[in-house]
């Protein structure tokens, strides 16, 4: 953590938003933010009631917040609402009915635009098709798809009929599908015959076929024909999208759902091996996504907005689909890789669609920085007026490059801190109201009360880092871990149970201006290219291979990915291992979890450093993987020779 603090202390640059931006911004001064923030904290119920009034409810709530049974908070009880209605129908009676809702670009270069009216029509047809396949309110549907418009259509169709969707990132493997389908007890899987990634086809349907024998609850598979390269279709189980959806009726009124009705489950990594099914509600979640989209991105009707995330992650849920469409804005969606066919692809897309607001991840920015200025320079990026980042801490060098090379020194940058669990952005700068500082997320969004505290829960004052907690509930907070209330309490609420605070799992630092700088995870979660991976998950994948006796996985600083994965692996006695076994193990992890979890380094060792009580000393391994001298206490180490050997065995 210390290096992060040093860098924030040395970071004196701050950039006020340009006057033209401020002149038209929704919140255009610090004083206005302060007043709104104060209102939201002094009387949260009145504030949230007022904001919730901007959504369309079929029945108004009886009570804004029920906090009688913490941490199981309920928001807008008695209220009836539908997320799909709020993203679609409510725009149809306005001039927006023929406005582009989604502008889609396929990796091979196709372009499709769906107006609000057309998207609504497709969603209704899909919703009716789902009903025809036996899907009812409350059922779980997993979605395992490429970034094509049918993905948004499928999620809004689920929301329309009250089925809870669980989207699984297309880069995850068949095994990840098994875990998630089993945990969610999914009834239907929606997938495609494939999707394009860097010119190759990702065989999504193949992974579904491999997973389904172990997913007894799944009855049907709905398959979009994206690539037309053909795939096996199992009679009685698999149905083509074009057969089921195209012929379905376009008349499907949105179900009136309780505000607390579960909108989606999204699995994310935690410190233990089993992914956590983060459960989000309908009303509170939608309000958070809607309001942050409006204020943080300063969304206006004439904007073309592009978030480059995959909808398989929460960023895509909130800031490609729910938050953006509920505002009636135009959302660009791109199927493929940032560097296909050239590292200029993103800039080409910005120029082509005249994108005004661009939201991406630090890992992508670092890659672009490395690929060089010539790529953005070859394109007209003058349409851009606001830039955003999300997913991991951004190093000041990358921040400055983003500002200069992409933003032409004219666009404010919003560094947005939030989590799958929080549903929407909790800490950031509001672009017209406050200065941006390289590497700092900023101030709390309305209604959010973050605090940096010590292990014991004492507020940290001055130039020290500590644990980041949120002191009071907010509407888009997770409601529980699907099917596991105890784990929900344990993971997020037990550390500061007495105070009733939500524990984020992140370390943070608050500077003299009150800005929060997020240092990163303090648990056994590593953040690889903005994607959370649990070290335990990767360790379990490794030990399931016969070459592995024991494994310990740690993160280390990585130039492009933020953090890389280093696996220390001890092999069974008598087994000889070499370079090719490292490849075998990497492939094994890719098969068990997905390519994103492949270790960057594998170090074979006879033994792992342990305490006398047998606990692996990860702190030491982290130092070794990062190539730094171990400063901390090693007196509890059982066998000192292990350490020396591990250091010798450096990987190139």
Residues within the interface to ligand PRX (CB under 6 A): 268, 314-315, 390-393, 415-420, 441, 504-506, 518, 520-521, 527, 532
**In the block, residue with structure tokens 């979605």:** 143
To the nearest whole angstrom, how small is the minimum distance from the Cβ of residue 608 to ligand PRX? 26
Q: Which CA distances in Å does 451 have to 62, 105, 123, 335, 501? A: 31, 41, 41, 38, 9
Q: Which residue is nearest to ligand PRX (CB)?
A: 420
Least gap, CB of 375 to ligand PRX (angstroms): 24
Under 8 Å between Cβ of 259 and 226 = no
Query: Whose Cβ is closer to ligand PRX: residue 516's or residue 604's?
Result: 516
Q: How far is the CB of 315 from ligand PRX (least distance, A)?
A: 5
Query: Which CB sits closer to ligand PRX, 100 or 390?
Result: 390
Nearer CB in complex with ligand PRX: 151/296? 296
Min dist. Cβ of residue 420 to ligand PRX (A): 3
Shortest CB 274 distance to ligand PRX, Å: 16
Burial class (CB in 10 A: 0-12, 13-18, 19+), 261: buried
Cα–Cα dist 238/244, whole Å: 11
d(Cα 256, Cα 272) in Å, to the nearest integer? 37
The residue (of 293 and 315) whose beta carbon lies closer to ligand PRX is 315
CB nearer to ligand PRX: give 283 or 391.
391
- Whichever of 331 and 504 has its CB closer to ligand PRX, that residue is 504
615 class by beta-carbon count within 10 Å (0-12 exposed, 13-18 middle, 19+ buried): exposed
Q: How far is CA 19 from CA 24, 137, 408, 412, 645, in A?
A: 9, 49, 15, 11, 59
In angstroms, rounded to a whole number, what is the distance separating the alpha carbons of residues 386 and 359?
8
Q: How far is the CB of 206 from ligand PRX (least distance, A)?
A: 26
Strands 386-390 vs 357-360: parallel, antiparallel or unpaired? parallel
Q: If you count DSSP H runs as helices and E runs as strands, how many of each does the chain have, helices first?
A: 23, 33
CA gap 28, 197 in Å, rounded = 41
Minimum CB–partner distance for residue 519 and ligand PRX (Å)? 8
Closer Cβ to ligand PRX, 183 or 392, answer by number: 392
Tell me whether residue 314 or residue 381 sits nearer to ligand PRX (CB atom): 314
Shortest reach from residue 282's CB to ligand PRX, in Å: 20
Chain Cα centroid distance, residue 35: 30
Looking at beta carbons only, is 356 or 360 nearer to ligand PRX?
Answer: 360
116 or 267: CB nearest ligand PRX: 267
Q: Which two tokens stand for residue 157?
A: 């169709």
- Token pair, residue 451, equals 């605090």
> Minimal distance in Å, beta carbon 574 to ligand PRX?
41
175 Cβ neighbours under 8 A, 6+ residues apart = 211, 591, 592, 593
Closest distance of CB 467 from ligand PRX, Å: 12
Distance in Å, CB of 110 to ligand PRX, minimum: 28
Residue nearer to ligand PRX on the CB measure, 142 or 504: 504
Pick the closer one to ligand PRX by CB: 194 or 436. Answer: 436
Closest by CA to 352, choosing from 378, 327, 329, is 378
**What contacts 327, CB < 8 A, 6 or more positions away?**
290, 293, 294, 299
Return the residue matching tokens 């991991």. Answer: 392
- Minimum Å gap between C-beta 530 and ligand PRX is 6
Enumerate residues 6+ apart whose C-beta is below 8 A from 293.
299, 318, 319, 323, 324, 326, 327, 329
Q: How far is CA 203 from CA 136, 196, 384, in A?
A: 29, 9, 35
- How, if at all, do strands 525-528 and 531-534 pair? antiparallel
């Amino acid at each position: 953590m210390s290096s992060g603090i040093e860098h924030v202390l040395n970071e004196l640059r701050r950039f006020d938003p340009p006057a033209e931006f401020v002149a038209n911004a929704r919140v255009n001064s610090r004083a206005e933010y302060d007043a709104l923030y104060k209102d939201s904290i002094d009387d949260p119920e009145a504030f949230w009631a007022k904001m919730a009034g901007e959504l369309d409810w079929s029945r108004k709530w009886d009570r804004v917040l029920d906090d009688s049974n913490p941490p199981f908070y309920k928001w807008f009880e008695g209220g009836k609402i539908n997320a799909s209605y709020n993203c679609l129908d409510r725009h149809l009676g306005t001039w927006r009915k023929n406005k582009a809702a989604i502008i889609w670009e396929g990796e091979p270069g196709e372009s499709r635009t769906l107006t609000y009216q057309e998207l609504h029509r497709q969603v209704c047809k899909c919703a009716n098709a789902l009903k025809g396949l036996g899907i009812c309110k409350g059922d779980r549907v997993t979605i395992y798809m490429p970034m094509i418009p049918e993905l948004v259509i499928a999620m809004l169709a689920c929301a329309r009929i009250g089925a809870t969707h669980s989207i699984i990132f297309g880069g995850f493997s068949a095994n990840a599908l098994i875990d998630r389908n089993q945990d969610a007890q999914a009834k239907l899987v929606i997938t495609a015959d494939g999707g394009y990634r860097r010119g190759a086809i990702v065989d999504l349907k193949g992974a579904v076929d491999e997973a389904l024998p172990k997913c007894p609850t799944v009855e049907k598979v709905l398959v979009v024909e994206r690539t037309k390269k053909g795939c096996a279709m199992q009679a009685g189980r698999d149905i083509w999208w074009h057969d089921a959806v195209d012929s379905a009726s376009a008349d499907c009124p949105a179900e009136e759902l309780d505000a607390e009705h579960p909108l989606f489950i999204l699995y994310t990594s935690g410190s233990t091996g089993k992914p956590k099914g983060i459960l989000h509600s309908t009303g509170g979640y939608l309000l958070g996504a809607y309001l942050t989209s409006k204020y943080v991105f300063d969304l206006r009707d004439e904007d073309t907005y592009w978030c480059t995330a995959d909808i398989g992650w929460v960023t895509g849920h909130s800031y490609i689909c729910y938050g953006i469409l509920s505002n009636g804005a135009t959302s660009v969606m791109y199927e493929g890789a940032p560097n296909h066919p050239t590292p200029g692809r993103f800039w080409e897309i910005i120029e082509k669609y005249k994108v005004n607001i661009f939201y991406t991840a630090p890992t992508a920015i670092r890659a672009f920085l490395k690929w060089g200025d010539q790529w953005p320079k070859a394109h007209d990026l003058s349409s851009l007026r606001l830039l955003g980042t999300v997913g991991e801490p951004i190093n000041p060098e990358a921040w400055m490059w983003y500002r200069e090379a992409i933003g032409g020194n004219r666009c404010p940058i919003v560094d947005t801190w939030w989590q799958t669990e929080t549903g929407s952005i909790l800490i950031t700068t509001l672009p017209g109201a406050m200065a941006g500082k390289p590497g700092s997320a900023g101030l709390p969004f309305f209604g959010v009360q973050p605090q940096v505290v010590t292990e014991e829960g004492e507020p940290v004052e001055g130039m020290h880092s500590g644990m980041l907690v949120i002191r009071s509930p907010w509407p888009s907070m997770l409601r529980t871990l699907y099917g596991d209330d105890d784990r929900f309490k344990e993971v997020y609420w037990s550390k500061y149970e007495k105070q009733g605070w939500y524990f984020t799992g992140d370390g943070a630092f608050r500077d003299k201006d009150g800005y929060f700088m997020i240092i990163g995870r303090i648990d056994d979660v590593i953040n690889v290219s903005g994607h959370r991976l649990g070290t335990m998950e990767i360790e379990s994948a490794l030990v399931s291979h016969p070459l592995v006796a024991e494994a310990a996985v740690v993160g280390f600083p990585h130039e492009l990915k933020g953090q890389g994965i280093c696996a220390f692996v001890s092999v069974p006695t008598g087994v000889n291992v070499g370079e090719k076994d490292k490849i075998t193990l990497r492939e094994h992890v890719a098969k068990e979890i997905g390519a994103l979890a492949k270790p960057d380094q594998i170090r074979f060792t006879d033994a792992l450093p342990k305490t006398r009580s047998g606990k692996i000393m990860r702190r030491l391994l982290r130092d070794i993987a990062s190539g730094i001298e171990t400063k901390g206490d090693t007196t509890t180490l059982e066998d000192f020779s292990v350490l020396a050997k591990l250091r010798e065995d450096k990987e190139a």
